[in-house]
Homo-oligomer: A and B are copies of this chain.
Amino acid sequence: MPRQVDYEDRRRRIAEAVCTLIARSGMEAVSLRDVAAQANVSMGAVQRCFRTKEDMLLFVLEHISQRVSERANQRIATASTPQAAATLLSHTLAELALLDEGSQTQARVWLAFITHASANEKLAAVLHDTYAKLHELIAWLVRYGQNTGEIPQHLDPTREAHTLLAVADGLTVHVLAGHHSPEVALSILRRHVDHLLQ
């Protein structure tokens, strides 16, 4: 038996390297050589992990999609003290919008993939899936708010969730475009959520 390697782990480490490179200088600047160097492995190792570059990028998208979803879900699941639905909603959306300083990298990567998805069916499929899940999550939170009486019953949770997600993603774009600072974006987001309540 030959030496065994934890491929999943290595794949994740390579994915992180790819994200770093994409955030630093855009998706077209990602070459297999640079990825290998950034991940501190040889090019051969990268090639062994992923059959082609396209496969690699697909894995990276799935990786970050999963991370975003998981973080949002955990934020809700681990709410130790029973929080107001509005707070939960606001915090979850802020997380999804990748507003805090440390998430700027992920925001860049996310947008890069959206841009690319227009020209790549597989990437588009992953994105479609992820957005469906995120929408479901937000709609659930809105319904929860209606149950606690914080959000008016007459609102359609599905529709409101669509708007909320749009605001969140729009603000992500605005921060990336330099139109807003993360702080301002956050306050705009909060105000929109508060507006739901009255």
Q: Smallest Cβ distance from A115 to chain B, in angstroms?
A: 5
Known contacts A25-B119, A119-B25; is-contact A169 B173 (Cβ 8 Å): yes
**Residues of chain B with a CB closer than 8 A to A119's CB:** 24-26, 29
A131: Cβ under 8 A from any B Cβ: yes
20 A–B contacts, CB within 8 A, in A order: A24-B119, A26-B27, A26-B118, A111-B111, A114-B173, A115-B176, A117-B176, A127-B178, A128-B178, A131-B178, A159-B188, A162-B180, A163-B191, A163-B192, A165-B170, A165-B174, A166-B174, A169-B170, A169-B174, A170-B173
Structural contact, B25 and A28, CB atoms closer than 8 A: no
Q: Nearest-CB distance from A16 to chain B (Å)?
A: 18
- Specify which chain B residues have a CB less than 8 angstroms from the CB of A169 in the assembled complex: 169-170, 173-174
Please report A residues at the B interface, Cβ cutoff 8 Å: 23-29, 108, 111-112, 114-119, 124, 127-128, 131-132, 135, 159, 162-163, 165-171, 173-174, 176-180, 184, 188, 191-192
Chain B residue numbers with a CB within 8 Å of A166 are 166-167, 170-171, 173-174, 188
Q: Contacts A115-B115, A119-B25, A167-B167 hold; do A124 and B188 have CB atoms under 8 A apart?
A: no
Q: Which residue of B is nearest A118, CB measured?
A: B108
Cα of A111 to Cα of B173 in the assembled complex, Å: 9
Number of copies: 2
The answer to whether A163 and B159 have CB atoms under 8 Å apart is no
Is A174 within 8 A of B26, CB to CB? no
Of the residues B26, B29, B188, contact of A163 by C-beta under 8 Å: B188
Q: Which of A117, A162, A168 has the most CB of B within 10 A?
A: A162
Contacts of A127 in B (CB 8 A): 177-179
Chain A to chain B: the 7 pairs with minimum beta-carbon distance, closest first: A28-B28, A166-B170, A170-B170, A131-B179, A169-B170, A128-B178, A127-B177
Which among B29, B111, B118, B170 is the interface contact of A167 at CB below 8 angstroms? Answer: B170
CB distance from A116 to the nearest CB of B (A): 6
